[in-house]
Amino acid sequence: MADSPDSALAYLRSRSLVDCDTLDAKVARMLGPFQDCTSNQAIAFSELSKPEHKELIAESHLKAGTLLRLMAQSKDPRFAGIELDELAVEIATVKLAIQVTPYLHGRVHVQTNPYYAYSIEKTIANAFRKGIVHLFKDLAPGWDSSRISIKIPCTWEGMIACRTLQLAGVHTLATTLFSITQAVLAAEVGCTYVAPYVNQLKVHFEPGFVDPNKLFSLCHLIQSYYKSINAVTQVLPASLTSTDEVLALAGVDHITVAPPLLQLLSRPDCGIPGSVFDNAASEIPPPLKQPLYMKDEAAYRIAFTRDLAGASEEKLSQAINIFCDMQDKLIALIKSKSE
């Protein structure tokens, strides 16, 4: 469906690449095409909970069992230690992503298991299994692997894993980003994207909570910094709660928007406030020696711990906890629908 030329969504698309923050193919078809599609455990749980996906879940569980038997025979290390239901969750998520791709110009972003957020090795294995080497190609033969991006939480371990994946030709998105420290390391390791969370994640799970420190200026700062060092990494803000928040970021590289806000933005009567990117006099941090953090884990960790007196580290921990809760719910859902 084409945007109304006077809609806020059309305006946003004139300034930024717009991604859909959903695995609902109907939304992508109705309001697309979009550039990319972003997802996470909460989005996957919301979509897979719909009655129309009961058969998809059953098929995913059956496929997981078949794959585990085959991989046990071949001793494929990518499948070592993975449980049946966890693999079924990965397959179901990939199936949903494949359904959305006809309505995209660019990539689908799938998130690694948050329980691996502090393991380089497990994150890499999960990414290869989930994204490039096997599942997408197995479920959609002929799949163009350049259209896959792996979302990885912005821990030290996660971003070091991104380095390995990027060198292997796998696009990565460093997600749950709350500080310039994380953004500097993400550029050093060569992430394709970073996702600064404008609101801490609990705004979507704790009724009545309002983030007192929304990170609009951080998105502007990161993009200005990246341009100053000619970084390849693109800024893709996430965790937005209103159309005003979305439009306040018009001019950012990418922006991902949830279906309810996309619907509101598509209306011709949606107002268009100013954007933080309208201010040409951006504040760019002083030049940084390269590499700054990639080879100095201790320096990175203390800089991140010190950011906003520990608030950024607390937000990251909170986000990982919430995504772990949603991973548990996905496992429980898969079990309940497959019995």
**Rounded CA separation 85/284 (Å):** 46
Cα end-to-end span (Å), the chain: 39
What's 115's DSSP letter? G
| 155 vs 158: CA distance, rounded Å | 5
Rg of the Cα atoms in the chain: 19
CA–CA separation, 113 vs 332, rounded Å? 15
What is the DSSP secondary-structure string of 121-150? HHHHHHHIIIIISSHHHHHSTT--GGGEEE
Structure tokens at 338: 């497959």
| d(C-alpha 338, C-alpha 315), whole Å | 35
Q: Are 173 and 195 in contact (CB under 8 A)?
A: yes
Helix (H, G, I), strand (E, B) or coil at 113: coil
The secondary structure of 246-311 as a DSSP string is HHTTTTSSEEEE-HHHHHHHTSTT------GGG-SS---PPP--SSSSTT-HHHHHHHHHHGGGGH
Query: Tokens 């598509």, residue?
Result: 266
Q: Which of 63, 95, 151, 214 is catalytic?
A: 151
Q: Where are the beta strands (DSSP E) in 10-60?
A: 17-20
Active site residue 151: yes
Catalytic residue IDs: 151
